[in-house]
Amino acid sequence: MVRGFCPRPPGGMVTLGSGNAAANRQRGQRRAESHLLADPSRAANELRSLLHALAFYGRFSGTVLVARGDTVVYEESFGFSSWEQKKHNTNASVYHLGSIAKGFTAAGIMRLIEGGELRLDQPLSQFFPRLGPAARAITLHHLLTMSSGIRQDLARTKNYDRNELVLPQATPIAAEDLVHRWGELKLFFRPGRRFDYSNLNYALLAAIIEQVSGVDLHTYLQRSLFTPLDLPSLAFGRENADSERVATGYVGLPQRHVVPEPWHDSWLLGAGGVYASARDLYRWMRALNEGLVFGPTATETLLRPHQRDGRRHYAYGWFVEERTGGTYRYHEGGTVGYIGEAGFFAEENVYLVLLSNHTHELERIAQTVVHMQGIARQIHAILAGRPHHAPPVPAPGAQASLAGPFAIGGARYRALPGGGAVQIVAEDPSPSLMDVPFRQDLVEESRRFRRARAVARALAKDRFGLVLWRSELALAIAIAARLVAKAWQALTGDKGAPVSLNCYRLPSPERPRTYGFRLVHANREIGVLLTFNRWGRVRGIHLDPSFSFQGPREVLARAIADDHLFIDGFALGYPDLHIRRDRGRWVFKAGLAELPLDEVQPESLPDQRGRPTVGRDPPRTAGIGRRVTER
């Protein structure tokens, strides 16, 4: 028996229904007062409607589970575990957890600490002296809380230099070789000063587990956690997982299913590489929350907030954030072909598992992360009984009457109805209908908006000095070292002289501090997303992956109802679009934009493909119109 493990019933298995009676009575009282899952039956129906709509458009393949205490409120699986064999995902399917695995690595360290074999204040140099002077200043606590300050990282780059990016390989690597791959460690900041997410932190922790326990990570986790808690699907490494249950990971979300090049999980040591079913992941979180894994002190140390990261904190392997009025402990995880989220509201005893085996390609994996976060937000809204939204599903027999030529802000299009849908064709040289939202010029009456516009104007002129003093510390350091300027030049290329700019995106409930700007240059147009921290300083500068002025010339609009057309933008890498008939007039809706469809007289007959041969050239300027929002 490992020292420090909580008492078990005979046979070595922990019964999830057991636990402290007083604590269970307190949880029962909290459940009675809980605002989450106030109507479980209604929540289950709304979850079913949301997930089926997402699956209808190919936006989700995987398993979702929601539970309160020992009652599973909703559990359902979608898509294929093997697209080639047409084998469906089931509730028993096993998925790669990505960074959700960090919670298990942290628990492994805590088991050794509770047993007296490790201390939180031990320096990294005691285990790996060859990592240099920096290792003497880094403790286990720093690694656990993502505050080590280590500059190097695995599968990520912190200094905008792609040449330093180390991606996992198909061949295995020993833990000792992985730890020393970068040579001596370099520090980005003094350990403990602030939060900085790093996969290498948890690879180092896993290597310490192997060194101290004398066995490999899978064996240690199996002996100390997986087997005692009766979690049979959990395993570190694909070779240790149940191959019959593992869902194949695919890229090409939402329409294509391609098996990516394999990565060996030894490269993800401690930071990823764990496999589990949704049901066993839920049972793990419940055991942790109900005090069945560690004693009270160790449990509190593991799960309490330690290091601030904006509006949230990092515990040991868990993020802690206020969501829908309650404290939510969770971790997201993603790798090529797999993505997910697992979390729980401790006070309400409510659990969520969201696991998927279908993502975008590696270069677009950030889009999958944003997409999955959006799904999680909708689920949280349902749990709290708040409004939520899902892509609309066509009603049987729906036929929309939009037909013929029309214009939006001077750009001309032609609607060709048929078969419960409308094909919308852009007349040359008008932009694709998908690009129209990027032409709007939105205005917000706030100091932050004025700062955002000033930053966008500075970026358009490559004047990073003006961005620096408006940025938070980490970004300011990168700008001062010219790392951001180099990355910006590499990503944007020969843009030519700046022509104009417009704001096409204002903050929303999903992204409350993010603005989108279209930067028009002589040779290129760029969509940039600016994210601010709570104090109004720039926290992130990203190229908008959905931005384009080369969208498809023809798009399909599904008839949802007789007065509602829906364009599945997600399938094309864009936001969704709607065309609705409002008070006798068709209106184009995209986010905050509501633009009327103007009837026009055809200037020419269409060619054999239905494409007009003549069209007006819309002006190359910023914005169709202006809309002011007060904050």
Which tens digits make up the pLDDT trace of 513-525?
999 999 999 999 9
Write down the pTM of the prediction. 0.84
DSSP string, 275-338: EEEHHHHHHHHHHHHTTSSS-HHHHHHHHS--EEETTEEE-SS-EEEEETTEEEEEEEEEETTE
CATH topology of domain 37-383: Beta-lactamase (3.40.710)
Residue 447 burial (10 A CB sphere; 0-12, 13-18, 19+): exposed
Residue 152 is predicted with a pLDDT of 84
Quote the percentage of the chain above a pLDDT of 70.
Answer: 88
Pairwise CA distance, residues 539 & 473, whole Å: 9
Cα–Cα distance measured from residue 300 to residue 107, given in angstroms and rounded to the nearest whole number: 12
- pLDDT tops 80 at residue 605: no
pLDDT, position 12:
32
Tens of pLDDT, residues 74-108: 999 999 999 999 999 999 999 999 999 999 999 99
Q: Which pLDDT score, from 0 to 100, does residue 144 have? A: 98
Residues in the chain: 631
Q: Which two three-digit tokens encode residue 328?
A: 């939510």
Q: Comparing 20-34, 96-110, 392-406, 539-553, which segment has the lowest mean pLDDT?
A: 20-34
Average pLDDT, the chain: 88
pLDDT value at residue 11: 32
List Cα–Cα distances, 216 to 176, 212, 222, 553, in angstroms. Answer: 12, 10, 10, 55
Q: Which of 63-77, 189-203, 588-602 has the lowest mean pLDDT?
A: 588-602
When pLDDT is averaged across residues 54-70 and rounded to a whole number, the result is 97
36: Cβ–Cβ under 8 A, 6 or more apart, which residues? 68, 324, 326, 345, 348, 350, 383, 384
CB atoms near residue 620 (< 10 Å): 11
Please, are residues 617 and 429 in contact by the beta-carbon 8 Å criterion? yes
Pairing of strands 274-277, 404-408: unpaired
SS3 354: strand
Question: Which amino acid is it at 408?
Answer: I
The position carrying tokens 């068709």 is 586
Q: Residue 407 — pLDDT band, cuts 50, 70, 90?
A: very high
Does the pLDDT at position 31 exceed 90? no
Please, are residues 447 and 536 in contact by the beta-carbon 8 Å criterion? yes
Residues 6+ apart with CB under 8 A from 143: 124, 201, 202, 204, 205
> Does residue 6 register a pLDDT over 60?
no
**Percentage of residues in the chain having pLDDT higher than 90:** 72
**Average pLDDT of 120-137?**
97
Of the ranges 143-147, 360-364, 504-508, 612-616, which one carries the lowest mean pLDDT score? 612-616
Both tokens of residue 522?
């002589």
Nearest CA to 546 out of 429, 374, 392 is that of 374
Residue 162 binned pLDDT confidence (cut-offs 50, 70, 90): low
Predicted confidence at residue 161, as pLDDT, reads 52
**Residue 307 to residue 319: CA distance in whole angstroms:** 9
For residue 112, the one-letter residue type is: L
- CA–CA distance, 581 with 563 (Å, rounded to integer): 5
Tens digit of each residue's pLDDT (9 = 90 or more) over 544-587? 988 877 889 999 999 999 999 999 999 998 889 999 998 889 99
Top-confidence residue, 473 or 147:
147
DSSP per residue, 478-535: HHHTTHHHHHHHHHH----SEEEEEEEE---SSSTTEEEEEEEESS-EEEEEEEE-TT
Say whether pLDDT at 57 is over 80: yes
Q: How confident is the model at residue 613 (pLDDT cuts 50, 70, 90)?
A: very low
Residue 69 has pLDDT above 70, yes or no: yes
- What pLDDT score does 550 carry? 82
Angstrom distance (rounded) from CA 114 to CA 130:
27
Provide the pLDDT for residue 545: 81
- What pLDDT is attached to residue 469? 83
Q: Please give the average per-residue pLDDT across 159-182, as a whole number.
A: 80
pLDDT (0 to 100) of residue 164:
60
Confidence of residue 428 (pLDDT cuts 50, 70, 90): confident
Residue 222 scores a pLDDT above 50: yes
Supply the pLDDT for residue 351: 98
Strand 87-88 and strand 250-251: pairing? Answer: unpaired
Q: Give the 3-state secondary structure of residue 69.
A: coil
Confidence category of residue 604, pLDDT binned at 50, 70, 90: very low
> Residue 260 carries which DSSP code?
P
Residue 64 CB-density burial (10 A; 0-12 exposed, 13-18 middle, 19+ buried)? buried
Q: What is the pLDDT of residue 42?
A: 97
Q: Which residue has the higher pLDDT, 288 or 486?
A: 288
Residue 151: per-residue pLDDT = 86
Question: CA dist 241 to 173, 249, 284, Å?
Answer: 19, 14, 17
Q: Which residue has the tokens 């094909």?
A: 423
Domain ranges of the chain: 37-383, 400-631
Which comes out higher in pLDDT, residue 599 or 613?
599
When pLDDT is averaged across residues 134-153 and rounded to a whole number, the result is 95
Q: Average of pLDDT values for 387-403?
A: 92
